[in-house]
Amino acid sequence: MPEPLSAAIVGGSGYVGGELLRLLLAHPHVTVLQITSESQTGRPVHTVHPNLRSVTDLKFSQEGSLDAVDILFLALPHGSAAGRMDHFDGLAQRIIDCSADFRLRDAGVYAQWYGHAHPDPDRLPRFVYGLPERHRSELTGATHASGVGCNASATILALGPLADEGLLERVVADIKVGSSEAGSRPSESSHHPERSGVIRSFMPTGHRHQAEVVQTLGTGFDLSFSVTSVGLVRGVLVTAHCFLRAAVTEKDLWALYRNHYGSEPFIRLVNQRRGIHRYPEPRLTTGSNFCDVGFVVDQGSRHRRVVVLAALDNLVKGAAGSAVQSMNLMIGCDEVAGLGFPGLHPL
């Protein structure tokens, strides 16, 4: 592998673009040469991402000025990349699209959830779903990877071991999310007096990330999926009420989750008997690529109801972090490169 590999970020003025740059600036094998923004062209990156002040002297450029690179990250709004992949393929051999454009493999499913036909259905099979815990072997050496939905990622990682063992019969997944999930563009719902301190159910049914969960874990169980905005900036917490086909004990769950995740570098099992941080807490993953997973057996349900919780930073493990982790597999370097930040406490 040549060192360093060159990279560029298209659509770098949003939150995901900023996180990609933050992570890649610390990467031992990648150098970011360009970052684009049509609205911020010519301005230093730190004027939009002030946490990067004195860390980089990059300035935003126009997309039309992009040079060829080894790796191209697309951090564009949903729907912006799919119609222009011929252009992007001409700029890089490896592409990671962080939007929803190539997450779903089936064009019919895409149309069902997004309300219009996919503009480039023939390319869908080329993209590997960019969640390494489920697609590591496919990502290794791949040329194209999709982004992941943050709510989908938390839910998939929470339920994966139970789904793989065929234990799930019915799941009610209640997901709470921070405001940065909606992106950096202001809206009526993100206006501070309307958003601050909320517990607002905005998608009780029909959230698009549900399609990613079904695609990844299959249709062997019934899934209900609800999403609620809460008074956080970053973070996703899924509380999944799982009704099982067979009774389990907490010891069984420890064995199952350790077997599935014991060697995973970014999954932490959190189920402590004491203290205030006994279960996954989104704040403790802030800025990190970790997903914390915990579980509790409902003793009053004859051990056939289990509550599984998963917490992650929606901008990192739910977006930019998984993209960089996928890139590491694609280029053949250490999977954890550039992703060592452990999070903060207190915050």
Q: Which of 150, 242, 291, 333 is catalytic?
A: 150
Q: Is 150 annotated in the active site?
A: yes
Question: Is residue 30 helix, strand or coil?
Answer: strand
Is residue 78 within 8 A of residue 11, CB to CB? The reply is no
Instruction: Give the DSSP H/E element, type plus range, for residue 241.
Output: strand 236-244
Beta strands 222-230; 199-203: pairing state: antiparallel
Active site residues: 150
